[in-house]
Amino acid sequence: MSPFTRASLALTATLWFGGCASTPQPTPTPEPQATPAPAPTTAPASSPTAQAPVAVPAVPLKQPAPMELVIQTNPQNPIVSFRLVFRAGSIDDPKGKEGLTALTATLLAEGGTRELTSAQLLEALFPMAAELQVLPDKEFTTFSGRVHKDFLPRFLKIFTDVLLEPRYEKSEFERLRTDALNTVRNQLRNENDERLGQVALDALLYRGHPYAHFVGGTVKGLESLTLEDVKAHARRIFTQDRLVIGLAGPVDEALKQSLTSRLSALPATGAPRVELPPVQPMPGRAVVLQKPTSSTAVSMGYVTPLRRGDPDFFPVAFALSYLGEHRQSHGVLFQELREKRGLNYGNYAYAEHFAEQPGTTFNRTNIARTQQDITLWVRPVVPTHAVFATHGAVYYLDRLVRQGMSRDAFEQSRGFLLSYTRLWEQTDQRRLGYAIDSRFYGTPDFLEQYRKALTDMTPEAVQEAVRRRLSPSALSFAFVTQDAPALVSALKSPTPAPITYASPKQPELLAEDKAILLHPLPLRTDAIEVLSASDFMEQ
């Protein structure tokens, strides 16, 4: 189980920590600061794609009507699927109480109802083989459920009671808060370097912004929370005006009426939604988290105004899939860095913020963001290969921008995505998720539109969009490593050490290795900071 999933209410129920809580005018939480590394005498690296950074505005997502229904009827399927998507996330966490929404959502979902203790809740769900999950993120929190239609009346009451009549038991609050603290202190900091690096990159890219802190909260924030905080917070953010209701399967008018009638007992309104500020890009920065570990994790990216609904989104998403589709082996980064050079497990690229749905290789739905980021992941590598792997990822991104892809590669990638996107919508829960996301992005039939765009694309049109939207010079970096001083020294070196192999390599590959190391990183060597992982997300 991922360090960021939490045991929830049924056989397969899982909670991914997210943070949320609401204030009319939230104060962004700064990340821990460190003294920057001293600037070397060499000039910062630059790229022909460089341009003056422009603030990324917060163009609001669309807002559906209160308790808007999204229905996907399938009478042949005996399983009823529910999704209650609240526009409430970690951006709503009050300053000093980071993690409040995640803990609130967890306590609602796991802590029992007025009629059922936490243990009795699990006992009630088990014989129905029912699922109840809660998944918070930056701007959204989703309560989802599945049950066979034969058990629908009983499950419907339980599913709505967790929101309408939560038990709020003190012992459950303390248990779940301790669990949340352990997620930050032990699981995230100690057990998952890759995820830790991604959270660090978020903190770096969005410093001073409501997105900056970990969805699950900070140590000091979680320690400050009380049961009364949770009770008040639930009333302020889990309200009718923030809710979209999704139903799939054998849905009839009686079910729709029963569900909406029960949920009308939620508060009609609560706290005003958070107004997000623009993000001022500051390219070329790096944060290095030092901790005991045998490998080095690398994440890089930048904030972008590009998101679903923009005409350039589909071609850029296509190009980045060609560069490195998540957990797929055909991508350029995977082939070049893993298959040819054996550096690590995998290397991937993303056109929008990615969070893997547990048990799949697919992105979670209902994690829409007003402001998006383009990222590349270099899964942990041997420390002596970390700088080369970083150069390599930037080199192949830059090559994509400069040279595009061959016609054969274009056709292969297009054929792959025309089929692979079918897997993204293979369950009722995922189809509901995409349909609900489309309400916020204004992108009806998103996956059908993607496949149509793929059919109509040309290599030339993709390359034009890539050159408009992808900028290696805009990247910033996050590293998790054991020997931070050695890594910083290697990153600052004008002549990085060449990589060595345990077995002979072809001359062509060795020649390309030299080109990779000569390709400068878009890194300001006066903007590298080192933090102890044990202090990260402390407050």
Residue-wise pLDDT for 342-393, tens only, equals 999 999 999 999 999 988 999 999 999 999 999 999 999 999 999 999 999 9
In terms of pTM, does the model score above 0.75? yes
pLDDT in tens, 290-327: 999 999 999 999 999 999 999 999 999 999 999 999 99
Map residue 344 onto helix, strand or coil: strand
| pLDDT greater than 60 at residue 38 | no
H or E element in which residue 290 lies: strand 286-290
389, 334 contact by CB (below 8 A): no
**Alpha-carbon span 414 to 394, nearest angstrom:** 23
524, 20 contact by CB (below 8 A): no
| pLDDT greater than 60 at residue 266 | yes
The residue whose two tokens read 């243990």 is 119
Give the alpha-carbon dihedral of 79, 80, 85, 90, to 10 degrees. -40
**Alpha-carbon span 349 to 344, nearest angstrom:** 15
| pLDDT greater than 70 at residue 4 | no
123, 138 contact by CB (below 8 A): no
**Alpha-carbon span 432 to 84, nearest angstrom:** 10
Q: Is the dihedral of CA 302, 303, 306, 309 positive or negative?
A: positive
What pLDDT score was predicted for residue 539? 87
| pLDDT greater than 60 at residue 215 | yes
What pLDDT score was predicted for residue 51? 54
Write the class of the CATH domain 12-23+63-263: alpha beta
Q: Which residues contact 153 (CB under 8 A, 6 or more apart)?
A: none
Task: Compute the average pLDDT of residues 512-539.
Answer: 95
Structure-token pair, residue 467:
């050159």
Map residue 506 onto helix, strand or coil: coil
Map residue 278 onto helix, strand or coil: coil
What pLDDT score was predicted for residue 107? 98
- Higher pLDDT residue, 23 or 104? 104
Q: Are strands 476-481 and 286-290 parallel, antiparallel or unpaired?
A: parallel
What pLDDT score was predicted for residue 52? 63
Q: Strands (DSSP E) along 119-193, which ranges? A: 131-136, 141-148
| pLDDT greater than 50 at residue 264 | yes
Phi, psi at 267, each rounded to 5°: -55, 140
pLDDT in tens, 434-461: 999 999 999 999 999 999 999 999 999 9
What pLDDT score was predicted for residue 492? 95
- Using a 10 angstrom Cβ sphere, with 0-12 exposed, 13-18 middle and 19 or more buried, the burial of residue 186 is exposed
**Alpha-carbon span 187 to 105, nearest angstrom:** 20
Map residue 386 onto helix, strand or coil: helix
Residues of the chain with CATH 3.30.830.10: 12-23+63-263, 286-532
Give the alpha-carbon dihedral of 415, 421, 427, 428, to 10 degrees. -130
Write out 60-112 in H/E/C secondary structure.
CCCCCCCCEEEEEECCCCCEEEEEEEECCCHHHCCCCCCCHHHHHHHHHHHCC
321, 417 contact by CB (below 8 A): yes
What is the residue type of 503?
Answer: S
pLDDT in tens, 7-25: 333 333 333 333 333 333 3
User: Measuring CA to CA, how many Å separate 335 from each of 132, 215, 339, 351, 403?
Assistant: 39, 33, 5, 19, 18
**Alpha-carbon span 362 to 421, nearest angstrom:** 10
74, 250 contact by CB (below 8 A): yes
Helix axis angle, 227-237 to 170-182, nearest 10°: 90
Task: Compute the average pLDDT of residues 504-513.
Answer: 96
What pLDDT score was predicted for residue 53? 77
Superfamily of the domain at 286-532: Metalloenzyme, LuxS/M16 peptidase-like (3.30.830.10)
